Structures are given as C-alpha cells and as structure tokens.
Amino acid sequence: MKVRVVKASEIAKLIAQPQEGDETALIFGKIFEECYTYATYLHEEGFRLHNSTNKNFLKKIAAELKAHNIYSKELVRKAYKMYSALLRAGVKGQKPKTQFKEYNDILIAAQPDLEDGKNYYEFKTYPINDYARVQCKVFSYVLGKPVVLVGLKEDENGYINFEKEVIDAENFVLPEIPPTLGELEEVCDVCRLPLKYCTCDKFSFFERETEEGNPWPRKTLS
C-alpha cells in the first residue's frame, strides 16, 4: 500500500515564504547545520565546550567548505561564531528519528534538527522569521510537544547572538494540502509507517522481501 508523505517544510512553505539567499549562503547554511549536528554528536558525556570538539568542528567546516568550493577564512570565522552562539543558547543533543502523523489520507513527516531527551530543537542560521515559526508549529503538531526554535543574528560589529522562542501547535490549523504535494511511499500494513521506518517486528524490509520471493532464508535480527 502506498501513502503520500509530506514533509513539515513543504507544509510550512504553503503558509510562509522561506528565507531567501544566494547560492553560496544556502550551501553555507546547509554545511553549517550538518557540521554543528556532528559536533553535538561528539558530546557523549554532557554538553560543554571542549577544545577537541571545537577543533574537530573547525576542521570539518573548513573541509566541507573547500569540498563545495566556497572556502574562505571569513566563512570559517563566521561559522565558529555561529557555533559558539548555539552553544550559549543550549542547543544540544542528537538528530532525532523522523516522526509521522496521519492527517486525512497522508502522513506528515517531522524531523527537527536536534533532540536531547527533554527538548526538540530547530536552529536557523538567520533571525527567526514567520517561516521558521510555522515550520516549528508543524513539527509540534506531529510530535505532540513544543519545539525550541533558535535563530542567529549578527550585529554591526560582527558579533553573533541568538534569539530563542518555544513554539507549540496550540490553535494551529493545517492549510489545505494540494494533492500533488509530497511523495508516494510504500507503508507497512501493520504500523502504517513508510517501510524504511517500520519497527513493528524484528525483521528488516529486505528480509521480508527475501522470504516472500527469494530462496534465501529469513534470519532474525539479534
């Protein structure tokens, strides 16, 4: 059975205009998000500034900028200021699993940037705007709990600070979702989740397929 899966960001775009920027800014923002998420992953015990983690972040951001042909010392310095601001804001944890919620005949998918066991976090490399708020409202609608939204803003002296809001889905009404939005995906008949996210038994999708149509025996995952 196939069900249409729509991302929270796709729904948010129906309500508010996403942040615009040139190609370099968009690539830089994506690289920073990935590198910051990786840096928080390295914190296995507590969340505090640590020289080795800071160095790893700087090395990784520089390598990624070079790989995408947008490297400059100025961008590395800016990335570190942003990194420091998010640390001060307490944005921590690891990338959460994608969560889904049924709405009419579709599944809405939500995956904020980070989760620390207490809070979900969504961070932006720009000041908080309407699009960021709406995206977090959709996240909250799916997750059933508030999301901490953190934006970054730079003053005239180059200092980067953070702003923080707690966003929930109270009184939030989903817009009309066009039938062409999202992607059709195969879902499990039992848990009704996309097959790659199915956790309703101890067998992988690949192993279920081999049992049905291949001579290889299915093995129980340990």
Across the range 141-147, mean pLDDT stands at: 98
pLDDT of 4 over the 70 cut? yes
Across the range 4-24, mean pLDDT stands at: 95
Q: Are 76 and 61 in contact (CB under 8 A)?
A: yes
In tens, the pLDDT along 108-130 reads 999 999 999 999 999 999 999 99
User: What pLDDT score does 218 carry?
Assistant: 34
Across the range 36-49, mean pLDDT stands at: 70
Rounded Cα distance between 208 and 202, Å, is 10
User: What pLDDT score does 172 carry?
Assistant: 96
Across the range 193-211, mean pLDDT stands at: 65
pLDDT band at 212 (very low <50, low <70, confident <90, very high): very low
More confident residue, 217 or 130: 130
Determine which of 84-88, 162-166, 218-222 has the lowest per-residue pLDDT on average: 218-222
More confident residue, 16 or 40: 16
Across the range 16-36, mean pLDDT stands at: 94
Across the range 62-90, mean pLDDT stands at: 97
The tokens for 219 are: 């093995």
pLDDT of 211 over the 50 cut? no
CB atoms within 10 A of CB 30: 13
User: What pLDDT score does 215 carry?
Assistant: 39
User: What pLDDT score does 202 carry?
Assistant: 46
User: What pLDDT score does 37 carry?
Assistant: 93
Query: What average pLDDT is seen over the chain?
Result: 88
More confident residue, 111 or 53: 111
| Long-range contacts, 16-22 (Cβ 8 Å, 24+) | 16/129, 16/130, 16/131, 16/133, 16/134, 17/130, 17/131, 18/131, 19/124, 19/126, 19/129, 19/131, 19/132
In tens, the pLDDT along 150-180 reads 999 999 999 999 999 999 999 999 999 999 9
